[in-house]
């Protein structure tokens, strides 16, 4: 067993997170006065009260033609300012504030995504064409970071399954591999060897086809800010946030489980599946509770981040303490 149960008092270590940085004595931003209210949270289908009524977006470019997606939550949205200034995006720096500061001039147009591998119709799609050719949906999802903090984010995007179906996966396709742009001139964090660049991630094909999985191109009804993964990123709300690879340039369908950046960096700490699981702790801190950005008290973390009804069946035969 590689999991160690920690006491709640270990909270400061939670904020430090990645071992590779912990060991190199890097400084991490402290998050003041953040906590989480105890008790369960609600996951509801359409018809729930509109949590968007209590928030305002930024001043970015609005996305047109957005419809409400099939999933939402009644929980209060995390303020736009926090969503866009408290980020993990190591391509722009390791502190939470670095992405917003260092990605200001990140150019994301034109931008293409190559879809290749075990597909009948490989190709390169322009992100603008992708946006125009699909119905944009707003999905209000809980976002749970492996560092034990969380947000509620109104993403805008399209189902990943819709894009994969366009390229017609072959019977050999078992996994989906993702790759981020590698360009140290545009992404200054890539000049540091804190991770093995470019950032790569992966999903099992059935996970990628799950209705919850989306490729997001915006938040709060606006185009995706650079610090959040512009122009297109993965969102899988039942998994820890590091699974949400940003600024995607390549999607490759493959036969074998692909490598993932954090798993390569610290396999004991970051498994391939990265499913939110309060019963499987990170080796250096508990995952039983989380602190919701903007709240004082910590709240209990829900299995699969509260999306068990939609995803648990995919893992029913797996030992989740080993396949974490």
Pairing relationship of beta strands 233-235 and 214-219 according to DSSP bridges: antiparallel
Which pLDDT does position 165 carry in this prediction?
A: 97
Pairing of strands 248-254, 112-117: parallel
Contact 273, 262 (CB under 8 A): no
The answer to whether the annotation marks 140 as part of a ligand binding site is no
Q: Are 284 and 13 within 8 A, CB to CB? A: yes
102 contact partners, CB below 8 Å, separation of at least 6: 92, 93, 188, 189
Query: Could you tell me the pTM of the whole model?
Result: 0.84
Residue 260 burial (10 A CB sphere; 0-12, 13-18, 19+): buried
35 is in an annotated binding site: no
Q: What are the pLDDT digits (tens) for 235-273?
A: 999 999 999 999 999 999 999 999 999 999 999 999 999
Q: For the residues 24-31, what does the mean pLDDT come to? A: 36
> How much of the chain is in helix, strand and coil states, percent to nearest 5?
25, 25, 50
Domains of the chain (ranges, CATH numbers)? 67-315 (3.90.420.10)
Nearest to 176, CA basis, from 134, 209, 130: 209
- Structure token pair of residue 115: 């879809």
Does 180 carry a binding-site annotation? yes
Query: Does the annotation flag 170 for ligand binding?
Result: no
pLDDT for res 10: 37
174 in a labelled binding site: no
pLDDT of 132 strictly over 70: yes
228 is in an annotated binding site: yes
Q: How confident is the model over 43-60, as pLDDT tens digits?
A: 333 333 344 544 567 888
Q: Known binder of ligand: residue 246?
A: yes
């Amino acid at each position: 067993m590689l999991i160690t149960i920690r006491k709640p008092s270990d909270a400061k270590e939670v904020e430090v997170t990645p071992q590779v940085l912990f060991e190199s004595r890097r400084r991490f931003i402290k998050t003041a006065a953040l906590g989480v209210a105890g008790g369960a949270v609600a996951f509801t289908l359409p018809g729930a009260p509109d949590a968007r009524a209590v928030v305002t977006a930024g001043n970015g470019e609005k996305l047109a033609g957005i419809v409400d997606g099939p999933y939402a939550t009644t929980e209060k949205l995390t303020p736009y300012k926090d969503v866009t200034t408290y980020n993990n995006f190591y391509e722009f720096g390791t502190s939470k504030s670095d992405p917003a500061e260092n990605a200001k001039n990140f150019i994301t147009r034109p931008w293409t995504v190559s879809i290749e591998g075990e597909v009948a119709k490989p190709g390169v799609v322009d992100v603008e064409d992708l946006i125009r050719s699909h119905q944009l949906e707003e999905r209000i999802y809980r976002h749970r970071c492996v560092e034990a903090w969380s947000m509620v984010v109104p993403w805008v995007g399209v189902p990943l399954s819709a894009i994969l179906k366009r390229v017609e996966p072959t019977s050999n396709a078992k996994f989906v591999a993702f790759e981020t742009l590698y360009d140290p001139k545009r992404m200054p964090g890539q000049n540091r060897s804190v991770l093995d660049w470019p950032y790569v991630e992966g999903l099992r094909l059935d996970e990628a086809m799950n209705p919850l999985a989306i490729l997001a191109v915006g938040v709060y009804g606006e185009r995706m800010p650079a610090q959040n993964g512009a122009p297109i990123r993965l969102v899988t709300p039942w998994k820890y946030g590091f699974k949400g690879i940003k600024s995607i340039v390549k999607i490759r369908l493959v036969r074998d489980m692909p490598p993932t950046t954090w798993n390569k960096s610290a396999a004991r700490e970051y498994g391939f599946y990265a499913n939110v699981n309060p019963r499987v702790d990170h080796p250096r801190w508990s995952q039983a509770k989380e602190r919701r950005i903007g709240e004082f008290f910590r709240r209990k973390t829900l299995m699969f981040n509260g999306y068990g009804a939609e995803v648990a069946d995919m893992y029913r035969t797996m030992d989740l303490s080993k396949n974490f």
